[in-house]
A and B are shown apart, each in its own frame.
Chain A
Amino acid sequence: MDTTTSTAPPPSILKPSAGPMGSSKWPNDLSTNDKYNWLLHVMYGRGEYERIQQFIRIQSHKNSYMTYIQALVHRQEGRIVEALDLFQRSVIETPTLINIKQVAKSLALLGRYRVAIDAYKEALTRTTNDWEILHNLGLCHMQLREFTEAKQYLLQALQISEIQEASYLALGKLHLIEGERDEAEAVFERGARRNPESPTLFTHIGLLAFERAHYTKAFECFGIALTFSPTYIPAIMAACQVIQKHGDADVALSKYRIVYGKKPECAQVWNNIGMCFFSKKKFVAAVSCLKRANYLAPFELYILYNLALVHLYLQQNASAAIFLQSAIRINRKHAPSYALFGVALSKLNDPDNASRAYAYSLKLDPVDPVALLNYGIFQANTGVSPSQINATMQQFHQCYAERAASATNQRELDTSMLEIATKLGYPAPPPAPPPDSKSLLAAFPPPPFPILSTSTQPEENNVRSSSPPPAPPAVFSPSVQRDEDLSKQPSEEIPVVKTKIYDDARHKQRRTKHQPVESSDADAVQNK
């Protein structure tokens, strides 16, 4: 223990007169030993850590507050073990509440949650209404995956202080881990009422709404988050996702600039930027951005899928096939990849494998109208018997009708798919004209609008929740996870529409040669 004067002052130029100071090594008046504590406190408050260290080093006599501040500085600078050591020394000298709390916090930061819980419980014997202790106890239990205790403590913490954003967030995440979305939403909304300016809480509410396909509400929430914190990245990513869904690539692109400025190496942002360029028909830029995204995150399925899509569009079929192979290698159950692979293979004159890819894709997801339509086109091109084509197209129309009935947003389904089907010679089921098909739609699921808002949600929900399944385990690194599953959504939405457009062009080229490629591009613009 070198708390007394035994440590020699550092051989520094700062202190020429300090060495032979008086006859004694102790000052005559020890009673005013605390006289610089206030200054240390002020310096700590404004973050002058280096200066504090120097100041403490030159003091001839160290008091307990200096030990405490020194420990805080260590912790702020990331040397938690040293900090813990000093805090423990403080506790031995004076076992006050504040010292015990600091020991517990340091232990928790070191990941020794079990010991930290003991220390916090010790602290709880000295006070009953300390929010910080209860909240941190909750967090420690959460890390140890003891969710019941964690919930209990967090609720207690919220009883003491109702405004604590952190507790609401932690509690909401706990509910999400356990799959209780309604409770989580309730907690977040309660928190947001108390913290009407919290970007994090509103982003969470927005994301939950997005998962349930309440896009207007989601967008409102992201908007609130962004008004209070215009550079809050998760909210930007989420809001842009909605914007991209609406096809407003320019606005999304201008918002992505903010994220790009802050996180230039974020693969998800590059992916989304690439898809923005894609919908603006700047294909080379799109490829560049996607390739950078792929470089930054080589094992990201959606980036590979998008790359393949853009390459298909650019008629670089070999590259597209190769990227799709990688995508399939990453996720063997990703039906859209197989469907697209089928397209690529058929372009590469490999009808056998293309047929297999289509079949496998439809086995994984038999209700995807895009895959069905492409399969139908493929079958028509390769001269399969009309009955088979007919079966495929029947299925297509059925799935399309179901989708159309369940879609709350008309943009989600591209009506030009029907046109292509008609061109293919298989218009909507019994009679060809569109009005008839509409009437049939109405007949199929009896009341089209009122029920679909309730009945279709679960289905939508399932589709979506299947795409970000890693959400629960990743709660401990929340921000990263959020970025990821945000970027997945737009990449899933936009490309699907494009696939069809692309195939549209291909089909026209093959079957009805009179239509040039450009005009089909124009078609695509209109569809958008």
Chain B
Amino acid sequence: MPSNKREKSASRQYQEISGNTNENETDQTRPTTTTAATDTKSKWLSAHNDFVAGINTVGSCVELVDLYAEGSVNLVIADFGNILLMPKIQAKLKVFKEFSLLKENNLSDLPCAVVACYMDTLQPRIPALAVASGSAVFLFKSLRPYYKFVLPQMEIAQVEKDVWHKAREGNIDMRAMHDVLNDLHRGGTVPLTHRSLAFLQMTNTNEAHQFVEHYKTIELKRQSCITCMKKLNKNSADEDALNCLVIGTEDQHIYIIEAQAFTIMATMNCPATPSFLDVSGVYDVEFRILATCRNGYIYLFRRGSETPRNAIYLNSIAVGLERFGKNIIVGCMDSSLHCYTTKGKRYWKHLLPAQITAMCQIDYRPKGFQAVAVALANNEIHLYKDKFLVDVIQVEENIYAMKFGKLGREDATLVMITKNGGLLVKILKRTATFEESDTLHGPPKEQQVKIDVPKRTKLYVDQTLREKEQAENMYRIFQQDLIRLKLLTGKEFLKSVQAGLNPIAKTKNEAIRINAEVHGLGPRFKLTVKLQNTSSTSLTPIIDLFISFTYDENIYSLNPNYIEIPILITGIEYGFCTFVTCITDKVISDIIKVYVCRRDSSAPLISAVINMPVAEPNLSI
């Protein structure tokens, strides 16, 4: 069977690859055994699992490229290190051969994108690595630093320059400086420098003074930062042809930079800051740039125009952007996956079961298989071919970066970086075929859940038997008891209403809530009675009330023991205080009853019973 043979060769290759990495074998044993059970069905072979690789990066910083033109593709990762150790930068450019680290270079700042590009016409075709970080692109040739390209400085308003010039000479005071800069910020056409903005944010004059002292001698600059970078072929569509770099910046520009002499060939104005780019075409002929922006739009740029041709509104922020021919596939933060045409028409939209954490394109030429892989926060990777879900890969951790392509000598590998820094590599089986109507379209797996029907006890069964025999009797007794219960409840309620015992008094047009607190250790306590007029129907305040107390006069004495209540306005809580002194020397406590009464009726409107604490003995020294 030919398919079987191919299967074997794939697994042999897998053996070879894993054999190469002796130091990783210990790591490998654990996870592969867990996945082995599902492997028979899976279309992927697990080639490498290193959950403690300690790599922290994003999708744009992973690149698969044949760095030495030797026919074996290297994995290049720009690793952030631990970003929470910030100002200390641990960023490194790591190059892997097979699965072992070949070389690493320190980077001066966090990289935002790594692109392998051809910047000369020499043979053999050895690519350079362009690493974008901050406001510069660093170029590495043969892994040695080669060139640094810095974004052009931006225009600064003349007034602002003058202000800082004056500050250097010391003939402007803080307040005037603040006013001038503030006016400029509100009404100016040119944005202020970060220095001035930081100055405007200061509230403390002393600090502002120090700030100016510190910065006045340093040259005033306004420079943008790179947010994303991709490459574009310059004059030929060949894979190893000369490239230019396409750079998106924080100040809402997209630059196209020629990679030989580093000149800016084209500048485009994006209406918002771009976050992901997708570039296709050839610079000299025709090209398209898609930019997803922070304002939730995708803009389409074409050759020869500075402004976007088309704008597509997404309902959410884009998390990833891929393009297949004229189809744009974009994953959004609201866990939806959309497909648009470049004209801006939506083909389809899927709601995914969890948030998207990474996306990558899968383009497996030998089989003509094109799909988009979407890593989700529920540890699954979904593969969509057109609008159909064709495969689900289970992984052990959240995937934060993915890249599909050649690795080593293997044609179809999926490199994944996990949330906790693991590095996983899976190889697509050669026998794997992806069909649109897969098992995935059967009944959802939730349907396998068993309904947990509550069990009935034997007692219940016995009672049902009894009921069948004596239903009439039981019903009659139940009825009698129910009526008796209702009667009792009614009686008690009547009693409490008559005595004003319930905590919320409610008559036809007034409602009062009572609340009492006792403070102190004794023998002297402070008793606070809080009253609130809670009537919502009428806004008329309640008047003519008083508070009185009943208590055992042998135990307590109250001063005052009668409180006139002033007007009670709706909604406001009033507090009334009295002092309670425990006059007995026995260690006992009693209750005090509080009554709120109307002056014209003898029955209390509302009452409260307070359980007094046992008083501490009176210490006489």
Give the B-binding residues of A (Cβ under 8 A). 1, 3-4, 6, 14-15, 17-18, 21, 24, 26, 28-39, 41-42, 44-47, 51, 54-55, 58-61, 63-64, 93, 98, 131-132, 161, 163-164, 166, 195, 197-198, 229-231, 253-258, 260-262, 264, 273, 277, 284-285, 287-289, 291-292, 314-319, 321-322, 347-349
**B1 within 8 Å of A (CB atoms):** no
Residues in chain A near residue B333, CB distance under 8 A: 44-45, 47
Contact A34 B456 (CB under 8 A): no
* Nearest chain A residue, comparing its CB with the CB of B151: A32
Residues of the B chain whose Cβ atoms lie less than 8 Å from the Cβ of A45: 275, 317-319, 333
* Cβ < 8 Å to A, chain B residues 445-465: 446-456, 464
Q: How far is the CA of A251 from the CA of B250 in the complex (A)?
A: 56
State A264–B451 Cα separation when bound (angstroms): 9
- Bound CA–CA A41/B318 (angstroms): 10
Contact A26 B451 (CB under 8 A): no
Query: Are the CB atoms of B456 and A229 closer together than 8 Å?
Result: no
9-residue interface stretch from B5-13, B158-166, B221-229, B496-504: B221-229
Name the CB-closest residue of A to B223. Answer: A31
Check if A28 sits within 8 Å of B197, measured CB to CB. no
Q: Is B524 at the interface (CB under 8 A from chain A)?
A: no
Question: In the complex, which residues of chain B have a beta carbon less than 8 angstroms from the beta carbon of A195?
Answer: 349
**Most-contacted residue by chain A among B84, B88, B346 (CB, 10 A):** B84
A18 surroundings in chain B (CB, below 8 A): 86-88
29 residue pairs from A and B, CB less than 8 Å apart: A15-B85, A17-B85, A17-B87, A18-B87, A31-B193, A31-B222, A31-B223, A34-B250, A38-B112, A38-B275, A39-B110, A42-B275, A45-B318, A46-B357, A46-B400, A47-B333, A58-B84, A93-B197, A98-B272, A197-B349, A230-B443, A230-B444, A231-B444, A231-B446, A257-B448, A285-B453, A287-B456, A316-B464, A322-B478
Complex-state Cα separation, A63 to B223, whole angstroms: 14
Given contacts A55-B86, A197-B350, whether A4 and B198 have CB atoms under 8 Å apart is yes
Flag if B451 contacts A257 (CB, 8 Å): yes
**Which of B202-210, B554-562, B610-618 lines the interface with chain A?**
B202-210
| Partner among B444, B446, B475 whose Cβ is within 8 Å of the Cβ of A317 | B475
Whether B295 and A6, one on each chain, are in contact in the complex, defined by CB atoms closer than 8 angstroms, is no
What's the Cα separation between A264 and B450 when bound, in Å? 11
> Which residue of chain B lies nearest to A273 when distances are taken between CB atoms in the complex?
B451
Which among A30, A93, A264 has the highest number of chain B CB atoms within 10 Å? Answer: A30
Given the complex of chains A and B, what is the CA–CA distance between A58 and B88 in angstroms? 11
Category for how many chain B residues contact A: 35 or more
Contact, CB under 8 Å: A321 / B475: yes
Complex contact A164–B315 (CB within 8 A): yes
User: Does B281 interact with chain A (Cβ within 8 Å)?
Assistant: no
Contact with A along B305-323 (1 / 0, CB 8 A): 0000000010101110000
Please pick, from B215, B351, B468, the residue contacting A315 in the complex, using a CB distance under 8 A.
Answer: B468
Residue of A nearest to B224 (CB): A34
Q: How far is the CA of A273 from the CA of B452 in the complex (A)?
A: 11
Asked whether, in the complex, the Cβ of A28 is within 8 Å of the Cβ of B349, the reply is no
A255 nearest in chain B by CB position: B447
A166 / chain B contacts, CB cutoff of 8 Å? 315
Shortest Cβ gap from B255 to chain A (Å) = 15
Q: Which of A6, A163, A292, A314 contacts B464 (CB 8 A)?
A: A314
Q: Which residues of B contact A132 (CB under 8 A)?
A: 315
Chain B residue with Cβ nearest A227: B441
Contact present for A6 and B207 (CB under 8 Å): yes
State whether A292 and B218 are in contact (beta carbons under 8 Å apart), knowing that A18-B87, A37-B250, A39-B112 are contacts in the complex: no
Contact between A348 and B472, CB atoms less than 8 A apart: yes
Query: Is there contact, CB below 8 Å, between A4 and B202?
Result: yes
User: Is A257 touching B447 in the complex (CB atoms < 8 A)?
Assistant: yes
Complex alpha-carbon distance, A53 and B346, angstroms: 35
Give A385 to B187 CA distance when docked, in angstroms: 97
- B103-139 interface mask toward A, CB cutoff 8 Å, 1 = contact, 0 = none? 0000001101000000000000000000001110000
Contact between B195 and A31, CB atoms less than 8 A apart: yes
- Asked if B265 is at the interface of the complex by the 8 Å CB criterion, the answer is no
If A14-B85, A64-B197, A197-B350 are given as contacts, then 19 extra A-B residue pairs at C-beta distance below 8 Å, sorted by A number, are: A1-B203, A3-B201, A14-B84, A15-B85, A17-B85, A29-B221, A35-B134, A38-B228, A41-B227, A47-B357, A51-B84, A93-B201, A197-B349, A229-B351, A255-B447, A257-B448, A289-B454, A317-B472, A321-B475
Determine the chain B residues whose CB is within 8 A of the CB of A21 once the complex forms. Answer: 87
Digit string of B209-239 for contact with A (CB within 8 Å is 1, else 0)? 0010011001001111111100000000000
- Whether A39 lies near B83 (C-beta < 8 A) is yes
Given A6-B204, A41-B294, are A318 and B250 also a contact pair (CB < 8 Å)?
Answer: no
Does the CB pair A262–B446 fall under 8 Å?
yes
Given contacts A31-B221, A35-B133, A35-B135, contact A131 B194 (CB under 8 A): no
* CA gap between A260 and B348 in the complex, in Å: 30
Residue of B nearest to A253 (CB): B451
B273 proximity list for chain A (CB < 8 A): 37
Q: Which residues of A contact B226 (CB under 8 A)?
A: 38
A256 x B133 contact (CB < 8 A): no
A309 to B456, CA, bound (A): 19
1/0 per position for B34-45, CB-CB distance to A under 8 A?
000000000000
Structural contact, A258 and B223, CB atoms closer than 8 A: no
Q: Does B377 contact A (CB under 8 A)?
A: yes
Chain A's nearest CB lies how many Å from the CB of B230? 14
Q: Check if A1 sits within 8 Å of B201, measured CB to CB.
A: yes
- Whether B58 and A42, one on each chain, are in contact in the complex, defined by CB atoms closer than 8 angstroms, is yes
